Amino acid sequence: MPDITLTNVAKNYAGHGSAAVEDLSLTIADGEFMCLLGPSGCGKTTTLRMIAGLEHLSGGEIAIGGRIVDSLSAAVFVPPEQRRLGLVFQSYALWPHMTVERNIDFGLRLRKLPEAERRAKANDVMEKLRIRDYAARYPAQLSGGQQQRVALARMLAVNPDILLLDEPLSNLDAALRLEMRAELRRLHEEFRTTIVFVTHDQWEAMTLATTIAVMNGGRLQQVGAPDDIYSRPVNRFVAEFIGNPPINMIALGGNPVADGLAARLGSKLDLADAASIGIRPEEIAFAAGDNAVPLGMLRLESIMPTGGSWIVELSLGSERLFHATHSRPTVKPGDTVACFARAEGLHRFDINQQRIETTEIRAASAAKPAGADRSALLPA
Amino acid sequence: MAMIGKTTNAANEKGRAHTPVLRKMRHQLAVASSDPVIAIGLVLAAVFALLILAPVISILVNVAIVQIGDAARTRAPEGAWTAYYLTRAFASRMSGILLWQPLLNTASVAIGAIVISMSVGGLLAWLVNRTELPGRGWFSTALIIPFMLPTWTLALAWTTIFKNRTVGGQPGWLENLGFATPDWLAYGRLPMIIILSLHYAPFVILILGSALQRFDAQLEDSARILGASRRRVAFQIVLPLMRPALLSCCLLILADCIGEFAVPYVLGLPVGFDTLSTSLYRAISTRQTGMAAVMAAVIMVIGVLTLYIDTRMMREARRFAIVGGKGAMDRRRSLGRWQMPATGLALAFVAVGVVIPLLTLFLSTIMRVPGRFTPENFTFDYWIGSDLGTVALRNGILLTPEFWSAGLNTLIIIGAASLASGVLGLLVGYVVIRSRFAALGNFLRQITFMPYLVPGIAFAAAILTLFAVPRGPIPALYGTSIILMLALIADQMPFASRSGIAAMAQLGKEPEEAARIAGAGWLRRMTGIVMPIQKRALASAILLPFISGIKGVSLFIILAVPATDVLTTYSLRLVDYNYTQAANAVVLMIALLALFGTILINRLTGNGIAKGLES
């Protein structure tokens, strides 16, 4: 069964200064549900289209199941129609002049299957995706969610080993999205296909993927399981991109407020090489738990209910911090509260914005005078 | 499991250096061979280079080369470079007659037509779109009809009524009723201005109307809320935002008027009122190839300048891109005591532009003596009679075999050419939108637009000089219907390619990419996906050229021979031989064909007359 291997893949568009994708090496294993995640313009869709063969490489090599499909050094290019994979477009790209059934039948016809088998396969996949009733309708007569299922069915009918999805949920409303997400998971388990999924929505990536590849500016940032990406971001970009509300990022050094905070954190953490520190909103607490570090006395600015949870805006001098909680806050705007954070929930980044990995926690030495560590905080 | 290949920048640099140029080219070749778009583009480029570029270049070259038979006059051998023709046209004793007077005539007619059509059309556009004019829905179609009729239909109707003794043949109605019509009313500048105004006023209504409809009402509302009066809103908000549409309208009418041939041919030639296009025709028909080239080049230069200004202004107009926002405009004001005059104006326009010309043409075909409204003077002989006692054309037009063969020719020649230009236009759109090489797309886009700048007559003349004699593998084509088709195809490419590009741009590449992913090869994608989705666009890209081909005069008047007569040239031959009734009968049929054809296209494409004609 096919692995997809990308080796030093690069893509430049003529007339554009910067590369769309640069030096991308990634292996997508058989049966994996891989999510390419990143902000718009990060090269994730370009990567997907290169795997599909709709774009050719400017450098590097792509192999599917050990067969080179696009390579500059081997001067090989296999056109998309011969790659035998499935791709669901963001716009669904249903053929407007064909009924649902004809849309699904199209690929089966090209594989020259006998009529009876074609019908059986089309019926089977329509059944699975619950669109049997719409078989005779035209795409324009379907709702967004139905169109999305037809687009999926069209690709699944030919039973591709690899299914590529380009933001297929972004045009759906919130309720449908949730439903389709569950459906995609179910399909992945049922069909056992390798799925590569492109999205800018971290929530979608987190809930669906077995592995996430975070991209930014045409470069791969981090590859890992969703939990890994969230709890151990390799750099500031990943830390700030993943998480909603976003991580609180505090630049160390330079201003007295940050210095004071650094002094308090320094009691438990080694901040020797740290240029900035990130605290996830849900890691902030109003009571000291196990292994907690004090953040200091913060002023509560506002409380924003989001239905079942609350986002609390806190200020420490000029710094703004957000705290997310599932229990109704008992404090009021204007109050000053003592805040703490779990030491494991603090992420340190060096001046190159890379994660500082060592997480040995210092023995409590709160007695240390504030400002003593200051020299250590400044970037080397 | 997933992993990141640990490659440093340095390793990557090395990797790139290791891919030699030759390999890269072989890779490009592998990519290109999987997708025939470039091959198709190159074939199209070659076809259009031969069909469009070569004739245009030959015109420009002929300006400065001694033509056959001019050796003595220019004192240089045939084919040598010479400034003789340019000097003769611009700076000789003859240049007044040859160039300046026709230029002045053309300019005065064009400016007159622009002023009148803009004011009448602008007023009517406002009435139809912004006021509670009674019968707006009906008017919005009826007012457009003069634009669907060939200009020379109106011209022939005009002569039927106003013709005087200056020209031989059957007199006009007024003359027969005892009113001697002066020359200035019967021929020349004034009737030309009136007829062109009638023809282009609907064009103004279309363009301004659609701009008015797209105008975001919120822009107006904001001004009103801030306390601006209705008048202030009109002059400081609406008019400035409409300016690009107004100016563009002006320039397009100007470009069309300069190339207009049929109207001056009917109304100007009899009294020696020459415009640029008729002097070009004179030069061609008297075999003055060099002078013809100069005239053609002058018209081309004016056309290029006009369009250059238009594109420049359109670029400027992008700053006003908010026009076309969401707020649909449906603000109408009641006309109050102006209701009657306004309705009267609209009705008068329909009467003068549609009813009277068509009725005149029809009546003229059933009257023995023009303008005598007595019962015994009416007859259907000119349609279905036989043994009429005339020298030629002894039967009614419907019983004349030449008429039917001209009709059949029209269908075959124009039909085939329209089919070809529709398909070529779609292919051009395909290459322009899909090609990875912007240069190829731009070349095709520009070359297919070129015929728009060349007056039909000049283009026909160039095609004639190029293809009349055998050249390389191409045999002599003079007198064949193929040369007509080639000229027609080239002539229709500006429209066909633009509508093809628009259609392909609208389609987007995803439906076709989805078919690629499903495993469909190129031919399969074209026939199974692209063409079926575009069938409406394709139908209108074939039908619209067909209609405009039926109306067209200038190409055929040069290229058609009696054996390849189409309805237009046949009717003009009848005009020339003074079979007025028969000629008008044919003209009437062409007019009705054009009218109902256009209406059919609208039904078919379902996007309203405005859109179809605008593009």
Is B372 an interface residue toward A (CB < 8 Å)?
Answer: no
Q: What is the pLDDT of residue B27?
A: 87
Mean pLDDT on B556-567:
83
pLDDT at B325 over 60: no
Return the SS3 of A189.
Answer: helix
Best residue in A21, A55, A76, A95 for a mutation probing chain B (most B CBs within 10 Å): A95
CA angle B4, B7, B13 (to 5 degrees): 140
**Per-window interface: A 147-186 vs B, CB < 8 A:** 154-155, 158
Confidence of residue B350 (pLDDT cuts 50, 70, 90): very high
Q: Which two tokens stand for residue B607?
A: 């996007």
Q: Tell me, letter by letter, the H, E, C secondary structure of B34-45.
A: CCCHHHHHHHHH
**Chain A residues with beta carbon closer than 8 angstroms to that of B7:** 8, 23, 25
Tens digits of per-residue pLDDT, B419-463? 999 999 999 999 998 887 888 988 998 899 888 878 788 788 888
Interchain pair B5, A25: CB under 8 A? yes
CA-CA-CA-CA dihedral for B473, B478, B480, B485, to nearest 10: 80
Interchain pair A106, B528: CB under 8 A? yes
Q: Which two tokens stand for residue B593?
A: 């064909």
**Chain A residues with beta carbon closer than 8 angstroms to that of B30:** 75-77
Interchain pair A27, B3: CB under 8 A? yes
* Mean predicted lDDT score pLDDT of chain B: 83
Tens digits of per-residue pLDDT, B152-163? 889 989 988 888
In this prediction, the residues of chain A whose per-residue pLDDT falls under 70 are: 1, 358-380
- Give residue A161's Cα distance to chain centre: 23
Interchain pair A96, B16: CB under 8 A? no
Q: Which two tokens stand for residue A104?
A: 């699904």
Q: What is the pLDDT of residue B49?
A: 93
Tens digits of per-residue pLDDT, A206-248? 989 999 999 999 999 999 999 999 999 999 999 999 988 899 9
CB B520 within 8 A of CB A108: no
Is B524 an interface residue toward A (CB < 8 Å)?
Answer: yes
Q: Tell me, letter by letter, the H, E, C secondary structure of A206-217.
A: HHHCCEEEEEEC
Tens digits of per-residue pLDDT, A312-324? 999 988 888 999 9
CB B527 within 8 A of CB B513: no
Q: Where are the beta strands (DSSP E) in chain A?
A: 4-11, 21-28, 33-37, 59-64, 67-71, 76-77, 86-88, 162-166, 194-199, 211-216, 219-224, 248-251, 276-279, 284-285, 292-305, 310-316, 319-325, 336-342, 346-349
Nearest to B602 by CA among B550, B543, B548: B543
pLDDT at B324 over 70: no
B74-82 CB contacts, 8 Å cutoff, 24+ apart: none
Best residue in B3, B23, B442, B517 for a mutation probing chain A (most A CBs within 10 Å): B517
Task: Mark out the alpha helices in B84-238 (DSSP H runs).
Answer: 84-90, 95, 101-130, 136-142, 145-148, 151-162, 173-176, 183-186, 189-214, 217-225, 230-233
- Give residue B130's Cα distance to chain centre: 29
**Per-window interface: A 26-55 vs B, CB < 8 A:** 26-29, 32, 34, 52-54
A109 burial class (0-12, 13-18, 19+ CB within 10 angstroms)?
A: middle
- Give residue B77's Cα distance to chain centre: 39
CA angle B175, B179, B183 (to 5 degrees): 70
With CA atoms as reference, the chain B residue closest to A93 would be B511
CA angle B164, B107, B292 (to 5 degrees): 85
Between the alpha carbon of residue B60 and those of residues A106, A182, A232, B88, B458, the distances in Å are 52, 69, 72, 16, 11
Is A75 an interface residue toward B (CB < 8 Å)?
Answer: yes
Q: What is the pLDDT of residue B217?
A: 74
Best residue in A7, A45, A77 for a mutation probing chain B (most B CBs within 10 Å): A77
Is B18 an interface residue toward A (CB < 8 Å)?
Answer: yes
Mean pLDDT on B11-32:
69
Tens digits of per-residue pLDDT, B82-104? 888 888 888 888 888 888 999 99
Interchain pair A23, B26: CB under 8 A? no
Sheet holding A310-316, edge to edge: A284-285, A336-342, A292-305, A310-316, A319-325
Confidence of residue B606 (pLDDT cuts 50, 70, 90): low
CA distance B57 to A309: 75
- The residue ranking higher by pLDDT, B367 or B604, is B367
Q: What is the pLDDT of residue B48?
A: 94
Least confident of B25-34, B391-400, B446-455: B391-400
Cis peptide before A245 (omega within 30 of 0): yes
CB B230 within 8 A of CB B220: no
Interchain pair A79, B532: CB under 8 A? no
Q: Which residues contact B345 (CB under 8 A, 6 or more apart)?
A: B123, B124, B127
CA-CA-CA-CA dihedral for A78, A82, A86, A88, to nearest 10: 70
CB B543 within 8 A of CB A108: no
The dihedral of CA B446, B448, B452, B456: what is its sign? Answer: positive
CB B234 within 8 A of CB B219: no
With CA atoms as reference, the chain B residue closest to A25 would be B5
